[in-house]
Each structure stands twice: as structure tokens, then as C-alpha cells.
Amino acid sequence: MTTATDALMPYDEVLERFDPVLGLEVHVELGTATKMFCGCPTAFGAPPNTQVCPTCLGLPGSLPVVNGVAVESAVRIGLALNCTIVDWCRFARKNYFYPDIPKNFQISQYDEPIAVDGRFDIELEDGATFRVRIERAHMEEDTGKSLHVGGSTGRIHGAEYSLLDYNRAGVPLIEIVTKPITGTGARAPEVARVYVAALRDVLRGLGVSDVRMDQGSLRCDANVSLMPKGATEFGTRTETKNVNSLRSVERAVRHEMQRQAAVLAAGGTVVQETRHFDENTGFTRPGRVKETAEDYRYFPEPDLVPVAPDTEWVIGLRKALPEPPAERRRRVQTDWDLSDLELRDMVNAGALDLITATVDAGAPAAQARSWWMSYLSQEANTRGIELAELPITPVEVARVVALVAEGGLTNNLARQVVDGVLAGEGTPDEVVESRGLAVVSDDSSLVAAVDEALAAQPDVVEKVRGGKVAAAGAIVGAVMKATGGKADAKRVRELVLERCAQ
């Protein structure tokens, strides 16, 4: 048994002596309204065991029926990853016992998956393209959830009792499996992270899942092995399960490389096993010794007919695929005339979709970018949340931009409107109304304020009349103060000069 005191080889030394090989398995929970083989709803967070029926509880006599939308999503995912969609495939039973799987088998696909042999080009941080080959994408059902109560770790060891929630049992999953990824060298951890991030973008673009890693709707199992330099055979791999953030994917791969290298260098052997990544220590710890496919006694699912996607239907789905995220980025970069760095900053800030949506809602690209990348980014940073989690929508930002363009708001007032929206005070128009933020554009009230300011500072008026136009700034400032910043400064200046000239 290895622990958090595992020996680790320095990363540079690992790369001098070994070549890493990765295999990434990503499970994505589909956002279908109902489960894979029954009509139960799939919404996240419902009270335990309220979204269940005889089929997903595995009761005797119940029979599964395939969810057509899930099949369509599987085909679209396969197409987006440049896979071949087979014209005939079957479900298979994967037999094992675990309390969260009430049938004692999981319906999955084994040697007859729906999508095979794809490729997916990802863009690394320095702009280099790396091609990941896709082995397969197959359909299956999710398991229920166990909750171990009473222990300190949340694991079954030391727990007093366990609770089971079958709401998730039978939720449609697509598992996407890469072929062995070689040739990454030092960049293996980065490749793993970027692959999962790029895959998440594609799945989000397809609209098939909410791809929330924090809620488990996107989960990554990272297989890692090492080959001594010059070797041609892959080493024994470990599989780090259910890594639930992009950063953890990168850390887990790096850690496994360093841990395995230390084991091999000390003359030991790497055990083929599943491992769990500990977010706190950055270490992996062993789970169960890895089963082989034979252990599961796969056989074709006798309760379901084969799935044979119609060729014309698949062609139609291919034609209707959204623009791939990488191509979209290139197009946006050209359309908006952005540098590589500007584009990367937007992507890294998670702002691209938000800015695009703001532009779609009518805002000029420059203003949309400016709001999301500066004022709102700062706000998200302060709150410690993602930009997309801010309680303001692209449509609302576009409305604020429009109000400024129409002259209804100054930039300063616009920020106060945004603050109001973020504080939950309503839409931009509602905030303008309730906070009384509209620009004072009525000349008669402005003229009165200007005259008052002029009367209060006769010395300034003399200076302006004497040709020192810059002195008018003091009057403009006084008017802006008197109107609570709600006047259009440019118009105030015009009025000041007009009144002085009289």
C-alpha cells in the first residue's frame, strides 16, 4: 500500500528516463429529460430516491426501452469527434455487484460501440496542435450513489452505515475513450488537461450536457503508464478515477508519472489498479486492483434490440453540427481583429461565449469585450467565482451598452447599473428606474444647474470670457456634482461655454 509519503522522482529526471503514455476515458452525463432506459426524470439535486421506477431499480419483470434522444446525442458526439458511426450496434451487460447498481449489471456497450475510430485536434498553450486519436464512444447508464456515513473520510472504511440514492441510476452516459496517447513527453499533464477542456467545449457546443465537472456530469479517468526510453512495449498502467476538475487532471497525471518512475527506478513493479486523486495532498492513493474485461462476463443485452442508425439520418445530423469551438475561435479572432494573446485571455477567462452572446444581443464587440474582460472579470475575481456564474446575462450587458450608446447613461452610471443588476435589483432598465440613474438630458434643468454654478463662481466666468476655455472645467465639475453625476458632461460643457459667451 502506498500513501501520501510515496517517493516521487523529480519531474525532469522522469522525462530523461521514461516516455509517458496516456489513455483518457471521459464520462459525460447527457442532459436528456429522462433516463437511458426508462421515463424517470434526470434533474440534479432532487430528494433521494424520488426519481426512480421498477426499471431503474432493477425490479423483476421490468424491461428497458432505449432513449432515442440519447442515441441521437451519442451519434452527434461521435460525429463531432470525427468518428465513424457504425450502421449496427448492440448494448451489452457488464456484470458486477455493487450496491449502487441494483440490477447487478450495468447496461453498456462492449465490442459493438456506436462510434469508433475518431480523431480530435487540440490546441496546446503555445498554439501547437496535438492530435488525439479516439478509440470509441459508447452509450451506457450511470450508477446510483452511495453515501457512507459516520467515518472521517466519506469512504466505506470506518463508516457506521451507508445510504443509497438511485436517482442517478440509469441516467444516460456516453463514455469517450482515447487510443493510447504517445509522444507528449513533458507535456503529458498539459495534453490531458487541454484534451478534457477542449472536449468539454465541444460537448457544451453540442448542447448534449451541462458538462459540470463539479457536479459529476463530466468525469475523467486518467490512465498513465511509463516506458523506459527506447522501449517499444507499453508499461503497466494505473487508472486514476473520477478526477473532477481540469487542474486535478493535470496534477494527477504529473503525480502518477513521478510516482511510477520512483517505483520503477527502485526496481519495483507498477501494480495495475485504480487510484483516487486527493485534491488536498495532490497525491493518488490506491483503490481496487483493476479488473480485466473477462471479469465482467460481458454478453449482448437480451432485453434490447440492436441500434441501427439510418445513414440518411446520420448524414443530416452531421450537416447540422455546430461550428467546432476551435474554428469558431479562429473566426472570432479574424472578425474582431484580436491578437493571439487577446484571444487566449478571453478563452482562459471563460469569456468567449459570454462576449459572443453579448454581441449577438446587439452590442459592438469592443464594448462587449471591455465589460466582460475588465469590470465584470474584476467582480468575478472579487467574488471568487467564474465569469459565467455572475448574476448578469449577456442580454443585460448588451442593454447597458445600448443605454450608454443612446446617451441614456454615462460610463460611470452604467457601472452603477451593472452593480445594481449584480446585486439582484432587477434588469438594467429596472435598476435605472429604481436608482434614478438616467442621464439628465432635459436642457432646461441643466441650464438652471449651469446658471447656478456660473453665479457661484464669477471669477471662473471671467477667465473663460477672457479666453481661458480650460477654466470651464471647474464649472462642468460643479454641475456634475450638483446633478449627482447624471448629466452628460459633454452637453454640460457646451452649455457652460454658450452661457459664458452670452
> Footprint of Zn ion on this chain (CB under 5 A)?
38, 40, 53, 55-56
Cell numbers that stand for 326 in this block: 476551435
Q: Which is nearer to Zn ion, 55 or 184 (CB)?
A: 55
| Distance between start and end Cα atoms, the chain | 92
Cα separation, 24 vs 179, whole angstroms: 8
Q: Which is nearer to Zn ion, 23 or 172 (CB)?
A: 172
User: Minimum distance between the CB of residue 58 and Zn ion, rounded to whole angstroms?
Assistant: 10
Q: Which is nearer to Zn ion, 135 or 142 (CB)?
A: 142
User: Minimum distance between the CB of residue 51 and Zn ion, rounded to whole angstroms?
Assistant: 7
Cα separation, 130 vs 110, whole angstroms: 28
User: Minimum distance between the CB of residue 172 and Zn ion, rounded to whole angstroms?
Assistant: 12
User: Minimum distance between the CB of residue 95 and Zn ion, rounded to whole angstroms?
Assistant: 20
User: Minimum distance between the CB of residue 410 and Zn ion, rounded to whole angstroms?
Assistant: 56
- Please check whether residue 207 is in contact with residue 77, taking contact to mean a CB–CB distance below 8 angstroms: no
| Residue given cell 448492440 in the structure block | 90
User: Minimum distance between the CB of residue 117 and Zn ion, rounded to whole angstroms?
Assistant: 33
Helices (H), 180-235: 188-206
How many beta carbons lie within 10 A of that of residue 274, not counting itself?
18
Q: Which is nearer to Zn ion, 59 or 469 (CB)?
A: 59
Length of the chain: 502
Q: Which is nearer to Zn ion, 50 or 281 (CB)?
A: 50
Q: Give the amino acid at 306.
A: P
Q: Which is nearer to Zn ion, 35 or 138 (CB)?
A: 35
Q: Which is nearer to Zn ion, 55 or 217 (CB)?
A: 55
User: Minimum distance between the CB of residue 30 and Zn ion, rounded to whole angstroms?
Assistant: 15
User: Minimum distance between the CB of residue 29 and Zn ion, rounded to whole angstroms?
Assistant: 15
Mutual angle of helices 352-360 and 340-348, in 10-degree steps: 100
**Apex CA 353: angle with CA 70 and CA 348, to 5°?**
110
Q: Which is nearer to Zn ion, 142 or 353 (CB)?
A: 142
User: Minimum distance between the CB of residue 55 and Zn ion, rounded to whole angstroms?
Assistant: 5
Q: Which is nearer to Zn ion, 53 or 357 (CB)?
A: 53
User: Minimum distance between the CB of residue 53 and Zn ion, rounded to whole angstroms?
Assistant: 3
Coil, strand or helix at 287: strand
Cα separation, 140 vs 143, whole angstroms: 10
List C-alpha distances in Å: 96 to 99, 104, 273, 291, 295: 10, 6, 17, 11, 8
**Apex CA 377: angle with CA 372 and CA 383, to 5°?**
135
Residues near 62 by beta carbon (within 8 Å), at least 6 away in sequence: 38, 53, 54, 55
Asked whether the CA dihedral 203, 204, 207, 208 is positive or negative, the reply is positive
Q: Which is nearer to Zn ion, 33 or 186 (CB)?
A: 33
Cα separation, 201 vs 80, whole angstroms: 11
Q: Burial level of 2, CB count in 10 A (0-12/13-18/19+)?
A: middle
Residue 304 φ then ψ, to 5°: -125, 140
Residues near 325 by beta carbon (within 8 Å), at least 6 away in sequence: 198, 201, 202, 205
Q: Which is nearer to Zn ion, 41 or 228 (CB)?
A: 41
Number of H helices, E strands in the chain: 17, 14
User: Minimum distance between the CB of residue 39 and Zn ion, rounded to whole angstroms?
Assistant: 7
